[in-house]
Amino acid sequence: MEHTVERVFTKEILHNAASGFGIEVDEKPVGDFENYIFKGHTKDGIARVLRLTHSSHRQKNEIEAELTFLKYVRENGANAAGSLLSLNGNLVEEHIASDGTSFFAAMFEWADGKLVDRTNPNVWNDDLMFKLGKTLGKLHALTVNYPVTSARESWDEEAYLQVMLNHEELGPHTKVLLEEMSHYPRQTNSYGLIHSDLHFHNFFVNDEGEITAFDFDDLQYNYFISDIAIVLYYTAWGSKKSYEENSAYAKKQLAILRKGYETEFVLEEEWYSRIPAFLKCRDHVLYYVLKMKYEGKEEHSQRVNELCEQIRERIVNGKTIVDLG
């Protein structure tokens, strides 16, 4: 979390927010990257998630649009942790900080299961990849007929990409990529509201191997294939295997992911040939995010610098994190 946000976040704001949703929360967050995430419980002991978002990150109408969409897909059978109402019957409650900025509170179902261990073949396997594909396919099928909202941005309006356009070294590469992708058609059968961040820290897997997706904070209008590309991107993220090994693995995973996806929704073949552009786009976004969130924080600096340098080299050389060719 940025220092400016850390300075104005207080225990009073946290407990007032929890009270508004009728829960008690642990004061230690389970996440604090772009939002503060806390685990809580109702009086009956039912686990819940409380999220607090600073107004520098999202505005109230943006969050309401996210939660309304999440409520819709959850009620229509998607494997997602649904949004829940406050005691006042609202999806979002606002709490004013000492500097006049706001924290927006929202509550969600607690997803059953736990984070997946990618080193455990009994969990991270073909069956899981099939179910990930099926989960995305269901979300996209529900997106097709969902009413358009102006409260969620399009992928090319994303602040991180806009800042990257002005980067002295990498900006020209960002510009070329965005110009290429701007020519892709925006049609309802391939473009709409998507999760856009379904990496392995944004879903739980229970003992039966079932998936529950969460963290729809990055919900945006984007091409459906982007969600598929992001799953593939993170099959190689942080891997110590060779580029060739990661690429071979990603090709295999794509075939399985697609089988699961097509049980719920079918994309035209040409979209799969465009995956490399979306892998590159992820690199551009992550480069800025890592720099913004961690630069200057000594406990992260070495590893973050290594990752940023790997990304920078791929960008300037026109490479992707894996080769699907």
How many CA atoms, within 13 angstroms, populate the side-chain half-sphere of residue 147?
A: 6
Q: Which residues contact 227 (CB under 8 A, 6 or more apart)?
A: 136, 139, 140, 194, 195, 196, 198
pLDDT of residue 56: 94
Rounded to the nearest 10 degrees, what angle do helices 275-294 and 298-316 cross at? 150
pLDDT digits 0-9 by tens, 209-252? 899 999 999 999 999 999 999 999 998 988 889 999 999 999 99
Name the class of domain 3-109: alpha beta
Contact 212, 188 (CB under 8 A): no
- In 3D space, the residue among 46, 73, 37, 81 whose CA is nearest the CA of residue 205 turns out to be 81
How far is the C-alpha of 61 from the C-alpha of 92, rounded, in Å? 9
To the question of pTM greater than 0.75 for the whole model, the response is yes
How far is the C-alpha of 139 from the C-alpha of 78, rounded, in Å? 6
How far is the C-alpha of 9 from the C-alpha of 94, rounded, in Å? 13
Tokens 């020519």 belong to which residue?
183
Task: Give span(s): CATH 3.90.1200.10, the chain.
Answer: 126-316
How far is the C-alpha of 325 from the C-alpha of 322, rounded, in Å? 9
Task: Give span(s): CATH 3.30.200.20, the chain.
Answer: 3-109
Q: Which residues contact 87 (CB under 8 A, 6 or more apart)?
A: 20, 21, 22
Q: Which residues contact 130 (CB under 8 A, 6 or more apart)?
A: 256, 257, 259, 260
Burial of 287 from C-beta contacts in 10 A (0-12 / 13-18 / 19+): buried
How far is the C-alpha of 319 from the C-alpha of 311, rounded, in Å? 9
pLDDT of residue 17: 98
How many CA atoms, within 13 angstroms, populate the side-chain half-sphere of residue 252?
A: 11
- From first to last of its 325 residues, the chain has per-residue pLDDT tens of 788 899 999 999 999 999 999 999 999 999 998 899 999 999 999 999 999 999 999 999 999 999 999 999 999 999 999 999 999 999 999 999 999 999 999 999 999 999 998 878 778 899 999 999 999 999 999 999 999 999 999 999 998 999 999 999 999 999 999 999 999 999 999 999 999 999 999 999 998 989 999 999 999 999 999 999 999 999 898 888 999 999 999 999 999 999 999 999 999 999 999 999 999 999 999 999 988 777 656 556 788 888 899 999 999 999 999 999 8
Question: Which two structure tokens, joined as six digits, stand for 241?
Answer: 């295997």
Phi, psi of 220 (to 5 degrees): -155, 165
How far is the C-alpha of 15 from the C-alpha of 155, rounded, in Å? 34
Q: Please give the CATH superfamily to which domain 126-316 belongs.
A: Aminoglycoside phosphotransferase (APH), C-terminal lobe (3.90.1200.10)
pLDDT digits 0-9 by tens, 157-206? 998 999 999 999 999 999 999 999 999 999 999 999 999 999 999 999 99
Please spell the DSSP secondary structure of 85-142, one letter per residue: --TTS-S-EEEE-TTS-EEEEEEEEPPSSB---TT-TTTSSHHHHHHHHHHHHHHHHH
